[in-house]
Amino acid sequence: MWLSSLTGLFRLEDLMNLIYAIILGAVQGVAEFLPISSSGHLVIVGELLTALFGRSLPDWLQGMTMNVALHFGTLLSIATVYFRDLLGLLQRWRLLLLIVLSSIPAGVVGILYKDALEALFQNALAAGICLLGTATILLAARRLRGAERSLSELSAGRALVIGVFQAVAILPGISRAGSTVGAGLMCGLRPADAAKYSFFLAVPA
């Protein structure tokens, strides 16, 4: 009954696109804050939806366009949860400068390799291979954790290393959260501080 009512208001194609968007949004919401790569899962789920329903997703639901839109939603949630911490950065100039430094590698890679990266966001095989890269980073972080330091002890060199890991995470399937938290642990940050720094880096990224 409700389905027939909806199809009366929308074309079937529009309704299917809406369902696709809801599914992709749910995947983003679940995967973004876990070290499993939301981008990689979005690519793979998009391919599964195409195979399941026998029709390609429209342009606005695939590739970088939808990915950026979904990550904007993530940005709003981070800004809400970490609002006080983000506001406090205005009084912690050294940490703010470290965040800027860590963000430079991803910015450079994104600008220089934009076209090649966009193509990967429509390649489920590449995303699957990169998921193995995420697993490797997480295993390395577990084995190579350094001495536990606070964010106030983070050096510029270590901040840049974390930034390089974030740049690698532009690839769909490499978890941004997993790679930056893992790099933070390998650089000697305490787990809670590594996670907080990762969320700080998510804002400019």
* Alpha-carbon separation of residue 135 from 63, 132, 151 (angstroms): 23, 5, 25
Within 8 A by CB and 6+ apart from 121, the residues are 39, 43, 62, 63, 64, 67, 172
Residue 97 has pLDDT above 70, yes or no: yes
pLDDT of 143 higher than 70: yes
pLDDT at 118 over 60: yes
Residue with tokens 């639901």: 61
Strand partners, 189: 149
Average pLDDT score over residue span 74-89 = 82
Burial of 3 (0-12, 13-18, 19+ CB in 10 A): exposed
Confidence band (pLDDT; 50, 70, 90) for 187? very high
- What's residue 145's pLDDT? 85
Summarised one tens digit per residue, pLDDT across range 159-184 is: 999 999 999 999 989 999 999 999 99
Q: Which residue has the higher pLDDT, 32 or 191?
A: 191
Average pLDDT over residues 78-107: 89
CB under 8 Å to 45, separation ≥6 — which residues?
Answer: 23, 24, 27
Look up the pTM and report it.
0.82
Q: Which of 2-6, 7-11, 75-79, 163-167 has the highest mean pLDDT?
A: 163-167
- Reduced 3-state DSSP string for 76-101: HHHHHHCHHHHHHHHHCHHHHHHHHH
**What are the E-state strand segments in 57-147?**
none
What mean pLDDT value characterizes the chain? Answer: 85
Least confident of 1-5, 29-33, 98-102, 145-149: 1-5
For residue 18, the cross-strand partners are none
pLDDT band at 10 (very low <50, low <70, confident <90, very high): low
Structure tokens at 128: 């699957």
The residue-averaged pLDDT of 51-77 equals: 75
State residue 62's pLDDT score.
67
- Name the phi and psi angles at 154, rounded to 5: -70, 125
70 or 186: which leads in pLDDT: 186
Band of pLDDT at residue 21, cut at 50, 70 and 90: confident
CA–CA gap between residue 14 and residue 172 (Å, rounded): 27
